[in-house]
Amino acid sequence: ALDGLAAGTEKVPLVLHLPGFTEETVRDTPHFELYAAGVRYRKALDTLVTDAAAGRVRPDQLASFKAQPDLTLEGADAWLSALLDDAEGGLSAQLRAMKPSAVFDDLLAGGFVAQRIGLPEDEDALWERLAVWVGLPSSWRDTTLPPSRPRAEDIAFAGASWALCVEYVDDLKRPPV
């Protein structure tokens, strides 16, 4: 499939994807000349772990894992698999399959997720998912929620207000006052 593409003296823009090959195993293939002539693109392990875990685990869980010494790809894969496999079905699994905007809409419209508020296990699953999606800390939740049992609208307000505050501070061009 590569016949004629890399022939000649001029460099031709070409992306060669070699999944499963290492620097040693590619030497034994006909693609080694192209591999050696080109530029290799590799993500740092830290970046790879962050990309794989983003939106699946809470930011504090990710930071705690990455702070460990001797980080390996195998260890990161085992850690992420254990965290994701440990989460049982139920509302937690349904929330993982939904987008944040859909959950906020559901909470405000009194949908399926909103009707599960009041069940401690489901409410905990919702707070966990909000922590994963927008990094919502429990301190913000404690500050913004009313002292009585929270309603679905209160939970939506807590999550959306945190996201807007983070966006505002991130976009702010001057030091906060």
In a domain, 99, yes or no: yes
pLDDT over 70, % of the chain: 95
Contact assessment for residue 34 and residue 16, using Cβ atoms and an 8 Å cutoff: yes
| Predicted confidence (pLDDT) at residue 128 exceeds the cutoff of 70 | yes
Phi then psi dihedrals of residue 170, to 5 deg: -65, -35
Q: How far is Cα 38 from Cα 30, in angstroms, rounded to an integer?
A: 14
Q: Are residues 77 and 102 in the same domain?
A: no
Q: Are residues 69 and 120 in the same domain?
A: no
Parent domain of 63? 43-86
In a domain, 177, yes or no: no
pLDDT at res. 140: 95
Contact assessment for residue 110 and residue 152, using Cβ atoms and an 8 Å cutoff: yes
DSSP E strand stretches across 124-169: none
In the three-class reduction of DSSP (H, G, I as helix; E, B as strand; rest coil), residue 152 is classed as helix
In a domain, 137, yes or no: yes
Q: Are residues 140 and 75 in the same domain?
A: no
Helix (H) or strand (E) holding 100: helix 100-109
Q: Are residues 92 and 75 in the same domain?
A: no
In a domain, 121, yes or no: yes
Q: How many domains does the chain have?
A: 3
**Side chain identity, residue 164:** L
Q: Are residues 116 and 147 in the same domain?
A: yes
| Predicted confidence (pLDDT) at residue 49 exceeds the cutoff of 90 | yes
In a domain, 55, yes or no: yes
In a domain, 175, yes or no: no
Those residues whose C-beta lies under 8 Å from the C-beta of residue 54, and which sit 6 or more positions away, are 62
Write out pLDDT tens, residues 64-103: 888 888 888 988 888 888 777 765 567 887 888 788 998 9
pLDDT at res. 88: 58
Chosen domain end from 86, 117, 144 = 86
In the three-class reduction of DSSP (H, G, I as helix; E, B as strand; rest coil), residue 4 is classed as coil
Q: How far is Cα 81 from Cα 142, in angstroms, rounded to an integer?
A: 31
Q: Are residues 100 and 122 in the same domain?
A: yes
> Model confidence at 131, in pLDDT bands (50, 70, 90)?
very high
Q: Are residues 72 and 109 in the same domain?
A: no
pTM of the model as a whole: 0.59
Most confident range, picked from 17-21, 26-30, 152-156: 152-156
Tokens 């307000």 locate to: 157
Chosen domain end from 86, 110, 142 = 86
Exposure string (b/e) for 116-136, b if CB count within 10 Å is 16 or more?
A: bbeeeebbebbbbbbbbbbeb
To the nearest 10°, the Cα dihedral for 4, 7, 10, 11? 80
State mean pLDDT over 56-69.
Answer: 84
Q: Are residues 106 and 153 in the same domain?
A: yes
In a domain, 176, yes or no: no
Q: Are residues 28 and 5 in the same domain?
A: yes
In a domain, 47, yes or no: yes
Q: How far is Cα 63 from Cα 66, in angstroms, rounded to an integer?
A: 5
